[in-house]
Amino acid sequence: MIFVPFSAPGDELLVEVASKRKGVQWGSIEHVITHSSMRVTPFCKHYTKCGGCQLQHIAYTAQLEQKRLILADTLRHLAGLKDIEVNPCIESPENQGYRSQVRLHCKGTKLGFYKTRSNTIIPIESCPMLPDAINACIKSLSAYLASHPIRGLSEIQLSQGERHQVIMTLKMDCLPKPTLVNKLKDTIPATGAVFRTDGQESLLWGQNHSTISIDDLSFRVSSGAFFQANGGLLPTLIKQVLKTIEQEDVSLAVELYSGVGAFSIPLAKIVNKLIAVEWKKRAVADAIYNLSANHIKNTIVYPMSADGGLDLLVSRNIKPDVAVVDPPREGLSTIVCQELKKLSPKQIIYVSCDPATLARDIKQIMSSGIYKLDEVQPVDMFPHTAHIESVSRFLLTN
């Protein structure tokens, strides 16, 4: 098998085959002999150079079906689910300007994204995946750095909250001097700015958090804390997580990798009691604040790792009716899968951002035969990219 970036199903191509990298055979397109019916003209001038998007050359409706097929194929091959049926991928209401967060790399006068499979920076002044307020900050930053490179600056993160307010986080090797801070404050249209290096964080100006509203709920999200970047589709993702839980009388639910509470707060509204497990200090502080701000009183936050939280529940013989897990790209550890099976909740809802680790974890969860996979629902949180988000639901068989 040869992986050919920027190809499309139905293409007839002349391909130059490259040497293997990490056991994977890659090729590059020399010439498109016959164009696939799925092909469209990419709308970004940096496409194929910048590593941010991989699917702009494919029509958006076709992207949705290809993601469904890729997810199903991954589960067949890696999880052994030969008869798996994956639901149609839920589309994003916006497929441009949808990302409320971005991380940019910086070196000298260059500010931008890494080139595909490289540490070379592709300079940009705007990105069509980002909203206007963030692009305005990028344009100002690019112009400033072109004539005033900042020593020790390696990364800039921009996050947009309510009322188009943007929080900027600078990753530097030392705290910037007041004169530089004042110049940036006068130049960059950011509501707040934060300095961060290993083990140290300082507020440079304004505030260090965004406020984000989802339906009737409000969330404080501190600089560096994780929050879903596609706010327009997040309410749909939440509904997919809750849709079968709200049909049951749930005495106790547990949520692992609960973050700042994006799932915790709506989940707490439909269960009698919730235990939220999160180990990152910044996210824990935000979660406690958000629970209070949204008048949630039936939730306890365990400030610990997922395996530590489950081990505590097992040792105390606390049996949840439902478990919601939203792990990072690495997926669940073997210990977490084993402890979940010991607790044997009636439902496990798994929010995944990586089909390969999802397939591995499905295999572990189903290995004892006590769970069946009831549904797999892809949700297109990242249009025009190869990223595939999904919600899978496991039901206890006995």
DSSP E strands in the chain: the ranges are: 12-17, 27-34, 101-107, 110-114, 121-123, 153-160, 166-172, 192-197, 200-205, 209-214, 217-222, 253-256, 274-277, 299-302, 322-325, 347-352, 371-379, 389-396
Q: What percent of the chain has pLDDT over 70?
A: 100
Yes or no: say if 286 and 294 are a contact pair by the CB < 8 Å rule.
no
Q: Residue 24: what pLDDT?
A: 83
- Tell me: the pLDDT tens digits for 121-142? 999 999 999 999 999 999 999 9
Backbone angles phi, psi at 339, to 5 degrees: -70, -35
Q: Residue 330: what pLDDT?
A: 97
**Given the DSSP bridges, would you call strands 110-114 and 101-107 parallel, antiparallel or unpaired?**
antiparallel
Q: Average pLDDT over the chain, rounded to whole?
A: 95
Q: Which residues contact 80 (CB under 8 A, 6 or more apart)?
A: 363
Question: Does the pLDDT value for residue 189 go beyond 80?
Answer: yes
Domains of the chain as residue ranges with CATH: 1-39 (no CATH), 101-210 (2.40.50.1070)
Question: Does the pLDDT value for residue 19 go beyond 80?
Answer: no
- Tell me: the pLDDT tens digits for 288-343? 999 999 999 999 999 999 999 999 999 999 999 999 999 999 999 999 999 999 99
Distance CA 92, CA 64 (A): 10
Q: Residue 21: what pLDDT?
A: 78
- Tell me: the pLDDT tens digits for 61-88? 999 999 999 999 999 999 999 999 999 9
Distance CA 261, CA 288 (A): 8
Q: Report the SS3 class of residue 352.
A: strand
Question: Does the pLDDT value for residue 199 go beyond 90?
Answer: no
Distance CA 261, CA 324 (A): 12
Q: Residue 161: what pLDDT?
A: 94
Question: Does the pLDDT value for residue 90 go beyond 90?
Answer: yes
Q: Residue 311: what pLDDT?
A: 96
Q: Which region holds residue 344: left if phi is over 0, alpha if psi is between -120 and 50, else beta?
A: left
Question: Does the pLDDT value for residue 266 go beyond 80?
Answer: yes
Q: Residue 20: what pLDDT?
A: 81
Q: Which residues contact 325 (CB under 8 A, 6 or more apart)?
A: 255, 256, 257, 306, 332, 336, 340, 348, 349, 350, 351
**How much is the average pLDDT of 200-215?**
94
Q: Residue 89: what pLDDT?
A: 98
Residue 35 confidence class, pLDDT cut points 50, 70, 90: very high
Which has the closest alpha carbon to 50: 168, 108, 130?
Answer: 130
The b/e string for 189-201 (b: 16+ C-beta within 10 A; e otherwise) is: ebbbbbbbeeeee
Yes or no: say if 302 and 288 are a contact pair by the CB < 8 Å rule.
no
Backbone angles phi, psi at 182, to 5 degrees: -65, -40
Q: Residue 177: what pLDDT?
A: 95
Question: Does the pLDDT value for residue 1 go beyond 90?
Answer: no
Yes or no: say if 189 and 234 are a contact pair by the CB < 8 Å rule.
no
Q: Residue 245: what pLDDT?
A: 92
**How much is the average pLDDT of 110-118?**
92
Residue 198 confidence class, pLDDT cut points 50, 70, 90: confident
Question: Does the pLDDT value for residue 118 go beyond 80?
Answer: yes
Question: Does the pLDDT value for residue 247 go beyond 90?
Answer: no
**Given the DSSP bridges, would you call strands 322-325 and 299-302 parallel, antiparallel or unpaired?**
unpaired
Q: Which residue has the higher pLDDT, 13 or 22?
A: 13
Question: Does the pLDDT value for residue 398 go beyond 80?
Answer: no
Q: What share of the chain is helix, strand, coil (3-state, %, to 5)?
A: 30, 30, 40
**How much is the average pLDDT of 102-112?**
96
